[in-house]
Amino acid sequence: MGISSLGVGSGILTQDVLDQLRASDDSQRITPITLNLANENDKQDSLKVIDATMTNFRDSIDALKSASLFDGRKSSVTGASVEVTASANSDVQDFTINVDHLATKQIEQSGAFASGSDLVASGMVGTGTFTLSVGSGTPVDIEYDSTTTLDDLKKLINDSAGDQVDATVVQISATESRLFISSAGTGASNDISIVDNSAGLSSMLTTDTSLSTTPSIDPDTSLAYAAIQSGLDNQFTFNGQTITRSSNTVDDLITGYSIALKEPGSSDVSVSQDREAITTKIDSFVEKYNSIITELDRQTLPSTDSSTRGIFSGDSSIKSMKRAIQDMIYSVAGGVGSMEDYGFTVDRDGKMSVDSTVFNAKLDENPTNVEAFFTGGDYTQTDGSVVALSGAFTGFYDIANGYTKTNGDLDNIKNSLTATISSLEESKISATERLDAKYAIMKKQFAAYDLMIKQFSSASDVFTQLSNANTSN
């Protein structure tokens, strides 16, 4: 505020008087609006917390309302010969696998070279080709010439036939390097054949006595190489039945099972329902239920003490939402039991807990009925009659989603708060502008009155001086 000369003439109608009058008007007209605005903004912030907590609660129900909740499988293996993965809804069973031997790749080894930079066809004139084939796969023709080194040959093979074989140059010692070619897949059908169509690879055709077998291809037409490992199918027994496969990953033995053969030996396998996954999701539901109830208790707490009173203590919509959540576990449709039958209880403080022993006992007794009760389906009663259920968690989800969905109840409350805040802000602006205008006028009036008072005071001084002079004479 700038320095004001108001009241200088009289010392009566000063700026302080105006400020006091303005403060009084503000306390009556502006302060109530400001307090209401602060309260509505606090409600808006609290509603965001309720909305987030309620959304988490809804999502925890969403993870439970699908029948796939009970389809998860867990495999347990005793022994190191296999690893087993079972997909959802696959058979629950126990079995034994005994691995006799694993499937192997065909591995071929060339003759010896001094290094990877040695030429493989130094006597070659022009360009030659050789044909590489693996089992019944498509043969691949590969070109070479007199400048092709052992390293070059490795690259040519990998570039042209890398989907069928893997080629690598191994330095055996300081003076010896060899080309190794292994089939990409395992099994007896993956035998490797290399036929030199141009007979230019003769420098590789020396018999190598260090190999387990000597080259068996005609030196005049083929690249000399020898198998150091034959491609074999695996062999194992499943519950005593002998089985062979070309791959050590067996996906076609039992629908939904992936069996990885690891080493010879025996393993006992048990595939069961994944109860841990079910328990984890149920525990999350209970935790999120208790979170939303705790939050709603705090926000709707009635109290004469403003420091502890919930900001929504007088809001019927939030209170109604709290009652709906509290009542939902007692309103399971179908008339075939209650949540308490499955171990779910709510204490005096409104907090939920679940007895996993009771829940698992129900699963052991009749898993189909448990699935129907919670996620929907046909429920068979003790008298043999069948009741079609929509599922407890499906009903819970509908209740929670009614509040959290777009344009749901929480959105409506949020929109109402936004409208109220906007209206209060407009009212505050309007009231402030009216007071500003009022006190601008009053300031001008005070200035005029101050001048009049000053003039009256001056006239009074003149009369006083005249009177004093007459008295003296």
Mean pLDDT of 1-14: 54
- If DSSP codes are grouped into helix, strand and coil, which group holds residue 245? strand
User: What's the confidence (pLDDT) of residue 222?
Assistant: 36
Contacts of 416 (CB under 8 A, 6+ apart): none
Annotate 350-362 with DSSP letters as a single string: S-EEE-HHHHHHH
Mean pLDDT of the chain: 87
What average pLDDT score do residues 291-310 get? 91
Distance CA 443, CA 356 (A): 77
For residue 466, count CB atoms less than 10 angstroms from its CB and return exposed for 0-12, middle for 13-18, buried for 19 or more: exposed
Q: Percent of the chain having pLDDT more than 90?
A: 69
Q: What average pLDDT does this structure show over 176-185?
A: 93
C-alpha torsion 325→331→337→340, nearest 10:
30
State the pLDDT at residue 215.
38
pLDDT band, very low/low/confident/very high, at 111 (cuts 50, 70, 90): confident
What is the Cα–Cα distance from 132 to 327, expressed in whole angstroms?
74
Output the CA angle 237-240-241, nearest 5 degrees: 65
Alpha-carbon span 450 to 443, nearest angstrom: 10
Query: What pLDDT score does 6 carry?
Result: 53
Give domain limits for the chain. 1-72+274-473, 73-103+233-273, 107-229
Q: Give residue 179's pLDDT.
A: 93
pLDDT of residue 4: 54
pLDDT tens, residue by residue, 80-98: 999 999 999 999 999 999 9
C-alpha to C-alpha distance for 473 and 469, rounded to whole angstroms: 6
- pLDDT tier at 79, thresholds 50, 70, 90: very high
∠ CA 446-451-455, rounded to 5°: 145
| Plot region of 398 (φ>0 → left; ψ -120 to 50 → alpha; else → beta) | alpha
* pLDDT higher than threshold 80 for residue 334: no
CA distance linking residue 254 with residue 259, whole number of Å: 9
pTM of the model as a whole = 0.71
Closest CA to 118 of 156, 150, 93, 73: 150
Pairwise CA distance, residues 373 & 367, whole Å? 10
Q: pLDDT confidence of 461, banded at 50, 70, 90?
A: low
With 0-12 / 13-18 / 19 or more C-beta atoms within 10 angstroms meaning exposed / middle / buried, residue 179 is buried
Percent of the chain at pLDDT > 70 equals 88
Q: Summarize pLDDT for 407-458 with one digit per residue, the tens.
A: 999 999 999 999 999 999 999 999 999 998 988 888 888 777 777 776 666 6
CA 290 vs CA 285, 302, 348, 375, 402: distances in Å? 9, 20, 13, 21, 19
Other C-beta atoms within 10 Å of 407: how many? 8
Q: How far apart are alpha carbons 4 and 14 in whole angstroms?
A: 8
pLDDT at residue 353 in the model: 96
Write the pLDDT tens digit of every residue in 222-237: 346 778 899 999 999 9
The pLDDT value recorded for residue 12 is 62
3-state secondary structure 54-111: HHHHHHHHHCCCCHHHHCCEEEEEECCCEEEEECCCCCCEEEEEEEEECCECCEEEEC
Least confident window among 56-65, 160-169, 333-342: 333-342
Cβ–Cβ under 8 Å, residues 439 and 445: no
Encode pLDDT of 23-55 as tens digits. 998 999 999 999 999 999 999 999 999 999 999
Query: What's residue 17's pLDDT?
Result: 81
| Pairing of β 386-389 and β 377-380 | antiparallel
With a CB cutoff of 8 Å and minimum separation 6, the contacts of 436 are: none
SS3 content of the chain, % helix, strand, coil (to 5): 45, 25, 35
Helix orientation angle between 316-328 and 392-404, rounded to the nearest 10 degrees: 170
Cα–Cα distance for residue pair 393/108, rounded to 1 Å: 61
Contact 328, 395 (CB under 8 A): yes
- Backbone phi, then psi, for 308, in 5-degree steps? -115, -15
CA quadruple 34, 35, 40, 45: dihedral positive or negative? positive
Phi, psi of 197 (to 5 degrees): -70, -20
State how far the Cα of 295 lies from the Cα of 290, in Å rounded to an integer. 9
Distances (CA, A) of 366 to 60, 73, 86, 362, 380: 24, 17, 22, 6, 10
Q: Which of 17-26, 135-144, 263-272 has the highest mean pLDDT?
A: 263-272
Please report where in the chains the tokens 């190598």 appear, as a residue: 208
Query: Which tens digit of pLDDT belongs to each residue from 364-410?
Result: 999 999 999 999 999 999 899 999 999 999 999 999 999 999 999 99
